[in-house]
Amino acid sequence: MIELKKSTDFAGPEGPVVLVIMDGVGIGRNPESDFVKQAETPNLNWLHDNALYTELRAHGVAVGLPDDGDMGNSEVGHNAIGCGRVFEQGAALVGKAIASGAMYAAGSVWQQLVANVIAKSSTLHFIGLFSDGNVHSNLNHLESMLRTAKQQGVKKARIHALIDGRDVPPTSALEYVERFDAFLNEINADGSVDYCVASGGGRMNITMDRYNADWDMVKRGWATHVKAEGRTFTSMQEAVETFRTENPGILDQDLPPFVIVRDGKPAGPIVDGDSVIFFNFRGDRALEITKAFEADELTEFDRGTKPDVLYAGMMQYDGDLDVPKLYLVTPPAIDRTMSEYLSSAGVTQLAISETQKFGHMTYFFNGNNSGKFATETWQEIASDNCPFEDAPRMKADEITDVVVQAIESGAYKFIRLNFPNGDMVGHTGVVSAVKLAVEAVDENLGKIIAALKKTNGILVCSADHGNADDMYELDKKTGGLVLDKQGHYKSKTAHSLNPVPAIVYDPSGAAKAHLVDVPKAGIASLAATCLTLLGYEPPADYAASLVKVG
């Protein structure tokens, strides 16, 4: 059994410690692109000047990604915050498994998938995010798998491309299409294999729903990828160009579904005997399509007759649920999370967010564990099912109402919450809405501060990564803003590489906390910080606390 030692310097506050994750709220480098800076944020400004304030790394190696050119994301960010340590994450693990050849080794799941299609003269299908954003997937992984499939005798492969525009520039699809068409031309050149794109669509239109927010997305994806039902085109390039002509200004993530045809027939429906790989390594937007392939009974939509296929994920997306049953790369084994330690100490905990980030405050925060620890209460506020730019406040008010009541009730000693606004609205690229989203977070942060003043609690406020702080493309060399052909600032919808704020506010002063210097501090230090403020000694291998008390 894991145990926490009580601190001899501080017994913990009278009220709760409240950890606020302002999703996607970083510290921008260019004021014109920084819509956190441009928003009216009197509470954050006051905390900057009057509370303990520092900055944390939330991308690259600080959160377990391969290098510091990799943007952080909500999954790895909440892993790091919740477990207090840095584990190698999906992109790094998959990259190593490919580079070493371990993913393709004898006896591997890969070999099962390949043997299946060779024995049955059937098709190997790949479904996944079509970019090199390295957040959910990487096109390099797909290309490696296709090269290996050819080497190992797979004659027919079909790709079902989910177009990105969130983790990469919002209208960059054709850059990836051109690259991949050249790759396919090369791999098909000797006539020994037949590899092509069979279907696709924007990632926010089909297939990649999460947290059961909109199963119609999965239904559309199933119809497109599996049944090959939908609007037809002769190439992915034709589909993208047509949709852009018909709807000028449409972002890649919103592109409608399409089916590729050859000689008037769909190029690649998924049928009995095929093998299917969902090549995203990140789990949240992989679970629902995986359920559609694996569940014997499915109530969320009518999928028709489920084809008898061998299905695998790039990684296991939920270890507790054993989903999927087959996977190519083993995910990081994350243990001894802050939640588990606090539960073992009998500390009552509340985890809350709205649907869009509820799984991050629970599943990901707890080390990719879908089960609650004994002293935890989880509460989900249902997200609106509408474009986020149309309702930029999202459910910040409703989350705060519950949190304030929880603070004042005295029922919980540790409360953690996520305001998704800065990230989810940031991804839309609609800067007027982003400004309102950040202002909603700030307004509700003020209500939480007021409740903590009444109860002598302590606030810890930070973010999992940036987004709203970097809404226009910046020139990598000069740092200046990039203009589009019309002379407007070029929109950016991906996460930033910027640091995030870390704030500790103790209204009563009981903790006598002061900042300590933690070299290259990352968001993993938030766990030890919260444990210290709760009156415990953090585990020795946790990233160092940002504060000392007493």
Q: What one-character-per-residue DSSP string does 47-115 give? A: HHHHSEEEEEB-SGGGGT-SSTTSPP-HHHHHHHHHHSS----HHHHHHHHHHHSGGGSTTSHHHHHHH
Annotated binding site: 23, 74, 136, 166-167, 203, 210, 282-285, 357, 423, 427, 464-465, 495
Cβ-in-10-Å burial (0-12, 13-18, 19+) of 414 comes to buried
Tell me how far apart the alpha carbons of residues 361 and 78 are, in angstroms, rounded to a whole number. 7
Do 219 and 252 lie in one domain? The reply is: yes
Whether residues 82 and 134 fall in one domain? no
Which of 279, 297, 329 is the last residue before a domain boundary? 329
Tokens of 496: 């930033």
Looking at the fold, whether 539 and 390 belong to one and the same domain comes out as: yes
- In the listed set 283, 301, 329, which residue is the last one of a domain according to the structure? 329
Q: Are residues 278 and 163 in the same domain?
A: yes
How far, CA to CA in Å, does 464 sit from each of 2, 355, 544? 26, 17, 17
Q: Hey, which residues does 54 pair with through a beta bridge?
A: 502
How far, in Å, CA of 127 to CA of 182, rounded?
Answer: 19
Contact between 365 and 78 (Cβ < 8 Å): yes
355 and 493 belong to one structural domain: yes
3-state SS, residue 363: helix
| Closest residue by Cα to residue 313 from 336, 288, 296 | 288
Distance, CA of 454 to CA of 446 (rounded, Å): 13
Tokens of 164: 């990105």
pLDDT tens-place string over residues 246-305 = 999 999 999 999 999 999 999 999 999 999 999 999 888 999 999 999 999 999 999 999
297, 329, 361 — which closes off a domain? 329
Tokens linked to 390 = 């149309």
Tally DSSP H helices, then E strands, for the chain.
Answer: 15, 20
- Judge contact between 496 and 469, C-beta under 8 A: yes
- Provide the pairing of β-strand 458-462 with 514-515: unpaired
- Determine the structural domain holding residue 51 and report its residue range: 5-89+333-548
- What CATH code is carried by the domain that includes residue 150? 3.40.1450.10
Of the candidates 88, 68, 75, 21, the one whose C-alpha atom is nearest the C-alpha of residue 496 is 68
The C-alpha torsion from 36 through 524 and 343 to 335, rounded to 10°, is 130
Cα separation, 95 vs 89, whole angstroms:
10
pLDDT of amino acid 66: 80
| Binding-site annotation: residue ranges for substrate | 136, 166-167, 203, 210, 282-285, 357
Q: Does residue 135 sit in the same domain as residue 79?
A: no
Q: Is the peptide bond before 324 cis (omega within 30 degrees of 0)?
A: yes
Q: Give the up-direction half-sphere exposure of residue 468: CA atoms within 13 A in the CB hemisphere.
A: 33
d(CA 538, CA 547): 12
Same domain, 138 and 14: no
Give me the number of domains the chain comprises.
2
CATH code, domain carrying 369 = 3.40.720.10
Residues noted as catalytic: 74
Q: Are 402 and 362 in contact (CB under 8 A)?
A: no
Please indicate, yes or no, whether residues 403 and 266 belong to a single structural domain of this protein. Answer: no
Distance CA 364, CA 358 (A): 9
How would you write the pLDDT of the chain (550 residues) with one tens digit per residue?
A: 789 999 999 999 999 999 999 999 999 999 999 999 999 999 999 999 999 999 999 999 999 988 888 888 898 999 999 999 999 888 889 999 999 999 999 999 999 999 999 999 999 999 999 999 998 999 999 999 999 999 999 999 999 999 999 999 999 999 999 999 999 999 999 999 999 999 999 999 999 998 788 999 999 999 999 999 999 999 999 999 999 999 999 999 999 999 999 999 999 999 999 999 999 998 889 999 999 999 999 999 999 999 999 999 999 887 657 799 999 998 888 999 999 999 999 999 999 999 999 999 999 999 988 899 999 999 999 999 999 999 999 999 999 999 999 999 999 999 999 999 999 999 999 999 999 999 999 999 999 999 999 999 999 999 999 999 999 988 877 878 888 888 889 888 889 999 999 999 999 999 999 999 999 999 999 999 999 999 999 999 999 999 999 9
Residues 296 and 347 in one domain: no
End-to-end CA distance of the chain: 29
Q: Same structural domain for residues 40 and 103?
A: no
Pair 448, 519 in one domain: yes
List binding-site positions for Mn(2+).
23, 74, 423, 427, 464-465, 495
Residues 25 and 79 in one domain: yes
